[in-house]
């Protein structure tokens, strides 16, 4: 089977491409390199022995998509290509709606034109917004609190409407929790642009000496150690969830991909120090507006219906994150 991976040189797309190739799928990548580098497809080749063809271009470019679907007999798409910064999405909503939502419409039109009706889509736990449900199940209320989350919910709506208009479509929406870690080879991983908004890239930049300390934003939450709790998932486990989703594509499916347990900021810092032997200087800072105390997945639906469960430990998440970052920042 041949899979079109949009955003395939990005963080999650590259790890998923590796897992696809290792599982015997063929992969074709389209990426505009707005947040990644062309060398990633060679790195995928070094890991798997198979370098996937990379089309450098935009999913908004329907002529290019037309060309790809004409040149390859694509069986399904996995759609990662999107912009993902919450603060930038608030500052420039038109950019985000255009890139993420219009880009998705463009992809769906091209797929429809070429009779390809199988898709796995990268959604996000941000679609849930603020919720007191813990753990968060797929039927929790949907109420994104920022423009990025709005684009994700809109794209989910596009896919669900498409399915209801034509049940020949098979659509799986995957709501990711907090991916961290990297491939154990150290060849691919997460490269944050500018000041990282997420915890692990910030920690690795402190470890690499690029930042003086980590600000722990919020130490008075109602959690065991007062710091925020999130469901961190190893990116390789997450990538493997996409293989299971492809194998089980049938009708409209919606699944959380998380470990089902939360770790606090302090637990992550301690685990990172233990895994790497590097001390992370921390300073306490006020809460960030809009942050929740505690947020983790009910992943039982994906466990039961996709036969998927996470295997990697927190130690591996930290050690693998650092192995990649160390090589990248040296
Ligand atoms: N990383 C996370 O914490 C997280 C959490 C939940 C959901 N997601 C979603 O998962 C997907 C992948 O995230 P990631 O962390 O790998 O991000 P990433 O930025 O590393 O990868 C996205 C890739 O898409 C490309 N891209 C963006 N817009 C494009 C366009 N219009 N045409 C072609 N290529 C385009 C970028 O160059 C990049 O390589 C995104 O849809 C993101 O919203 C990510």
- pLDDT by residue (tens digit) across 145-157? 899 999 999 999 9
CA distance 117 to 46: 31
Residue located nearest, by CA, to atom 34 of ligand 1? 31
The pTM assigned to this predicted structure is 0.97
Question: Rounded to the nearest whole angstrom, what is the distance from the C-alpha of residue 18 to the centroid of ligand 1?
Answer: 16
By percentage, how much of the chain surpasses pLDDT 90?
92
Q: Single out the residue of 84, 71, 166, 158 nearest to residue 125, CA to CA.
A: 84
Token pair 């992809």 is found at 107
Question: Domain coordinates of the chain in residue numbers?
Answer: 2-180+233-258+298-310
How close is the Cα of 34 to the center of ligand 1, in Å?
9
- For a mutational test of ligand 1's pocket, the pick from 62, 81, 110, i.e. the residue with the most ligand atoms closer than 8 A to its C-beta, is 81
> Atom 39 in ligand 1: which residue has the minimum CA distance?
10
Q: Which residues have any ligand 1 atom within 6 Å of their CB?
A: 7, 9-13, 30-36, 58-60, 80-84, 99, 103, 122, 124, 176, 178-179
Residue pLDDT, tens place only, 310-325: 999 999 999 999 999 9
- The fold for domain 2-180+233-258+298-310 equals Rossmann fold (3.40.50)
Ligand 1 atom having least distance to the Cα of 36: 39
> Annotated catalytic residue: which of 25, 148, 232, 263?
148
Ligand 1 centroid to residue 122 C-alpha, Å: 8
Q: Once rounded to an integer, what is the mean pLDDT over residues 126-150?
A: 88
Please give the average per-residue pLDDT across 230-247, as a whole number. 98
pLDDT at 133: 63
Given a cut of 80, is residue 131 above it in pLDDT? no
H-state helical runs in 171-292: 199-207, 235-247, 265-276
Give the residue whose CA is nearest to atom 12 of ligand 1. Answer: 80
Per mean pLDDT, which range of 54-63, 188-197, 231-240 is the poorest?
A: 188-197
> Which residue has the CA at smallest separation from atom 36 of ligand 1?
35
Residue 96 annotated as catalytic: no
> What mean pLDDT is predicted for residues 289-318?
94
Q: Which helix H or strand E contains 163, and what residues bound it?
A: helix 147-165
Characterize the bridge pairing of strands 229-230 and 263-264: antiparallel
Average model confidence (pLDDT) across the chain = 96
Out of 33, 35, 155, mutate this one to test ligand 1's pocket (max ligand atoms within 8 Å of CB): namely 35
Cα of 263 to ligand 1 centre, how many Å?
24
78-88 pLDDT, tens digit per residue, is 999 999 998 89
Residue 46, exposed/middle/buried by CB under 10 A (0-12, 13-18, 19+)? exposed
Q: Under a CB-based contact definition with an 8 Å cutoff, are residues 81 and 11 in contact?
A: no
**How many alpha carbons lie under 13 Å from residue 133 in its C-beta half-sphere?**
15
Expressed in angstroms and rounded, the spacing between residue 283 Cα and the centre of ligand 1 is 30
Q: What is the whole-number distance in angstroms between the Cα of residue 140 and the centre of ligand 1?
A: 24
């Amino acid at each position: 089977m041949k899979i079109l991976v949009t955003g395939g040189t990005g963080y999650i797309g590259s790890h998923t491409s590796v897992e696809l190739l290792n599982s015997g799928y063929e992969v074709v990548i389209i990426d505009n390199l707005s947040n990644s580098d062309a060398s990633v497809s060679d790195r995928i080749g070094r890991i798997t022995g198979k370098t996937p063809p990379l089309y450098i271009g935009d999913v908004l470019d329907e002529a290019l998509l037309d060309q790809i679907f004409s040149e390859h007999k694509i069986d399904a798409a996995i759609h990662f290509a999107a912009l993902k910064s919450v603060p930038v999405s608030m500052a420039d909503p038109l950019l985000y709606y255009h890139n993420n939502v219009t880009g998705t419409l463009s992809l769906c039109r091209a797929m429809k034109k070429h009779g390809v009706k199988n898709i796995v889509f990268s959604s996000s736990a941000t679609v849930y917004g603020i919720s007191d449900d813990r753990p968060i199940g797929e039927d929790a209320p949907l109420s994104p609190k920022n423009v990025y989350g709005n684009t994700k919910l809109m794209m989910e709506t596009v896919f669900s409407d498409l399915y209801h208009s034509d049940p020949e479509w098979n659509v799986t929406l995957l709501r990711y929790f907090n991916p961290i870690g990297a491939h154990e080879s150290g060849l691919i991983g997460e490269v944050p642009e500018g000041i990282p908004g997420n915890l692990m890239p910030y920690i690795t930049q402190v470890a690499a000496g690029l930042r003086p300390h980590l600000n722990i934003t919020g130490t008075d939450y109602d959690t065991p150690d007062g710091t925020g709790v999130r469901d961190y998932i190893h990116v390789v486990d997450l990538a493997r969830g996409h293989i299971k989703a492809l194998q089980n594509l049938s009708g409209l499916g919606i699944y959380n991909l998380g470990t089902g347990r939360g770790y606090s900021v302090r637990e992550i810092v301690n685990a990172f120090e233990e895994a790497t032997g590097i001390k992370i200087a921390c300073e306490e800072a006020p809460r960030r507006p809009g942050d929740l105390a505690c947020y983790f997945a009910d992943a039982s639906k994906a466990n039961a219906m996709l036969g998927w469960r996470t295997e990697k430990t927190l130690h591996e998440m930290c050690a693998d994150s650092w192995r990649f970052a160390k090589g990248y920042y040296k």
